[in-house]
C-alpha cells in the first residue's frame, strides 16, 4: 500500500532547539488541523493513500473527495482505516462533482488542500524542431494511452 512509505515519518517530525550563545531559538512542528483532498479517477486508491498518509503522519485529519467516477474506493479505504484503528473523524469522505471540490477548497476550516487534476486526455506537449518526429509521436501516443 502506498501509505507504508509514510509509516516511519511521524516519529521523526519534531522541533529543534538552536543555541545562539546568549539566547536560543526553537522550532515547533504542529499539525495544521483539517486537510482537504480531491482525488482523480485513474489511481483512486493510490491517490487517496498518497494524500491521506502524510497528513496523518503529521497529525492532521482529512476530508477526502474522490472522483465521482470512483466513489466506492474511498469508502473502502475509510473502512480499512477504521479496521486498522484510525479514530472516527480522522478520515472523512464526501462525494460529488467539481462543485463539492470547490466548496471543500474554499471552506475556512480547511488549512491545506491537495488536488489531483486531470486534463481529460488533452495532455499538452512540446516537440522541438530538432526532435526525431517519428520517435516523438510514438512516445506521445504511448504516454497518452498508457493507463487506458
Q: Which fold has domain 2-117?
A: Aldehyde Dehydrogenase; Chain A, domain 1 (3.40.605)
Give the predicted TM-score (pTM) of the model.
Answer: 0.72
119 alpha-carbon distance from chain centroid: 17
Residues of the chain with CATH 3.40.605.10: 2-117
pLDDT in tens, the chain (148 residues): 455 666 676 677 777 888 888 998 888 788 999 999 999 998 999 999 999 999 998 899 999 999 999 999 999 999 999 999 999 999 999 999 999 999 999 999 999 999 987 766 666 778 899 999 999 989 888 877 776 5
Q: Return the number of other C-beta atoms located less than 10 Å from residue 111's C-beta.
A: 13
Q: Tens of pLDDT along 43-74?
A: 999 999 999 999 998 899 999 999 999 999 99
Amino acid at each position: 500500500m502506498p501509505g507504508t512509505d509514510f509509516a516511519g515519518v511521524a516519529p521523526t517530525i519534531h522541533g529543534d532547539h538552536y543555541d545562539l550563545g546568549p539566547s536560543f531559538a526553537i522550532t515547533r512542528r504542529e499539525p495544521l488541523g483539517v486537510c482537504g483532498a480531491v482525488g482523480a479517477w485513474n489511481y483512486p486508491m493510490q491517490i487517496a493513500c498518497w494524500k491521506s498518509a502524510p497528513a496523518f503522519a503529521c497529525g492532521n485529519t482529512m476530508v477526502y473527495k474522490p472522483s465521482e467516477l470512483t466513489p466506492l474506493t474511498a469508502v473502502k479505504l475509510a473502512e480499512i482505516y477504521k479496521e486498522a484503528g484510525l479514530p472516527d473523524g480522522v478520515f472523512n469522505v464526501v462525494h460529488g462533482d467539481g462543485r463539492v471540490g470547490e466548496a471543500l477548497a474554499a471552506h475556512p476550516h480547511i488549512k491545506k488542500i491537495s488536488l489531483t487534476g486531470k486534463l481529460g486526455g488533452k495532455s499538452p506537449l512540446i516537440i522541438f524542431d530538432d526532435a526525431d518526429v517519428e520517435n516523438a509521436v510514438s512516445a506521445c501516443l504511448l504516454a497518452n494511452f498508457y493507463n487506458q
